[in-house]
Structure 1
């Protein structure tokens, strides 16, 4: 297992962009999961006779239900991973995440409000992004 001290924080722009997008979606994941659960069709027994494949559908209601369940499971897994990473970070990194990715503030405003030197802020942010990228296998 790789130690955090040896974690390479030099990331490509693509990996950094994907990771930051994922971190920004953290606050919306719970709402997405709940809305998908509410929109999921309920499978009930239907005793009406129906003609076989008369419609122009490419999949059945059961397949739609299964696909929806897989999507919900993926979002839930992503949310749980982000929770684990978030709560394993240093408190100052959690505050950076909150201000930068959840509130959508600019870097200058974040390190000014947190009374951090800009070099320290960018080092902590780079470490935080590297940890998330490693957790999701982007590196």
Structure 2
């Protein structure tokens, strides 16, 4: 299926397959980490940090906006991680069964699993495994709108 999915969706445009798959793998890893660990919140340190401002005889000290930045990260980060997880799991559910199993076993179960482990587990030949994986990755990238277009 090489670039068929991409060429149908974007006639006349060239898709950078390597960059697209790299972007997709990052999204899959984010979804896996959210599934496995949930969102890891940042905590504020109890000792305030000060920034020294030069000028005048009364040098002013200001407290950093650490708590505000942490609160924004915790709220926005959790929403982004959950949204990524939901989008990825929905897109994976649209794949054909063998492709679903490949993506789920390779990216969504154990970070130490290699392609070799997956194709042996699924009793596939190496060639069939990589063909199905490439098709699945192409369809997922399209479904998640992660294509990288070469201009």
TM-score, structure 2 length as denominator?
0.63
> How has the CA–CA distance of structure 1 residues 71 and 24 changed in structure 2, closer, same or farther, with 3 Å as cutoff?
closer
Distance 1:70 1:63 in 2: 11
- Segments of 5+ residues of structure 2 without an aligned counterpart are 8-14, 45-59
Superposition RMSD in Å: 2.9
- Segments of 5+ residues of structure 1 without an aligned counterpart are 1-5, 42-52
Higher strand share: 2
Whichever of the two has the greater Rg, that structure is 2
Which of 50, 68, 74 is 1:68 aligned to? 74
> Secondary structure of 1:8's match?
helix
Which of 23, 32, 37 is 1:27 aligned to? 32
Please tell me whether the aligned partners of residues 11 and 130 of structure 1 are also in contact (alpha carbons under 8 angstroms).
Answer: no
> What do residues 2-44 of structure 1 show as CA deviations (whole Å, max 9, x unaligned)?
xxxx5138752222122123223332113242x32xx578xxx
Which of 14, 21, 31 is 1:16 aligned to? 21
For residues 28-67 of structure 1, what are the structure 2 equivalents within 5 Å? 28-30=33-35, 31-33=37-39, 35-36=40-41, 39=42, 55-57=62-64, 59=65, 61-62=67-68, 64-67=70-73
Shift of 1:62: 4.7
Judge which range, 119-128 or 60-69, deviates more: 60-69
Judge which range, 61-70 or 73-82, deviates more: 61-70
TM-score, structure 1 length as denominator?
0.67
